[in-house]
Amino acid sequence: MTFAWYGHLKYRDTPLALAILVSWGIAFFEYCFLVPANRFGSYQFSTTQLKTIQEIITLVVFCFFSYFYFDEGVKTNQIIGFIFIVLAAYFIFKA
């Protein structure tokens, strides 16, 4: 979803309608994987845990995406924020 949501920002001269259509196309294929993953994962995890897993994966992917695709560095305050999110995940999974 990261590429569908943010990839078009590198091509701001592209018409908005085209950017929307391409993003929907990318998102469709990602949902084809996400929906079954959540269905199968729901046998092992609660919905809160599934959402937490998804958010952490999204943040990790976004860090790599912004670094390699947009050439943006990750700042210290962002790393600290991510650490707090991982700590939150720890408490969510702690039974």
Q: Would you place residue 41 in the very low, low, confident or very high pLDDT band (cuts 50, 70, 90)?
A: very high
Instruction: State residue 5's pLDDT score.
Output: 78
Mean pLDDT of 33-53: 92
83 Cβ contact partners less than 8 Å away, ≥ 6 residues apart: none
Instruction: State residue 47's pLDDT score.
Output: 92
Token reading at 30: 């990602």
Where in the chain are the domains? 2-93
- pLDDT tens digits for range 63-90: 888 888 888 888 899 889 989 988 998 9
